[in-house]
Amino acid sequence: MPKWKTEGVQIKLEGTGNRYINDKQGVVNTLLGTGKGLELFNAGIEKAEVLGTKPYGSKKTKFTDADLNHF
C-alpha cells in the first residue's frame, strides 16, 4: 500500500472558472486515504445530505434505506 494512502491527506479546489462546474465556483476534491486524516475528517462531519437520486455507477433510480446506511 502506498505510504500516502495511510499517512497523507490532500484537499483541493478544482474546476474554478469552468462554466460547467458549479457555476465557475469549482468543487472540493478530498483524497483522505485510510489513516488518521480520514478519521479526523469523518469525526468533523456535522451533517450529511444526499443530493442525488441514483447511487454512483448504479442503474437504480432511487436510494433505499440500505443504500443510505453507510452515510
- Summarize pLDDT for 40-62 with one digit per residue, the tens: 888 988 888 776 655 556 665 56
Whole-number pLDDT of residue 60: 58
Whole-number pLDDT of residue 45: 87
CB 50, CB 65: distance < 8 Å = no
CA angle 65, 34, 56 (to 5 degrees): 35
CB 6, CB 33: distance < 8 Å = yes
Domain ranges of the chain: 3-68
The answer on pLDDT for 71 being more than 60 is: no
- Summarize pLDDT for 8-29 with one digit per residue, the tens: 888 888 988 888 777 888 888 8
CA angle 13, 44, 47 (to 5 degrees): 85
Q: To the nearest 10°, the Cα dihedral for 44, 47, 48, 49?
A: -160
Whole-number pLDDT of residue 33: 84
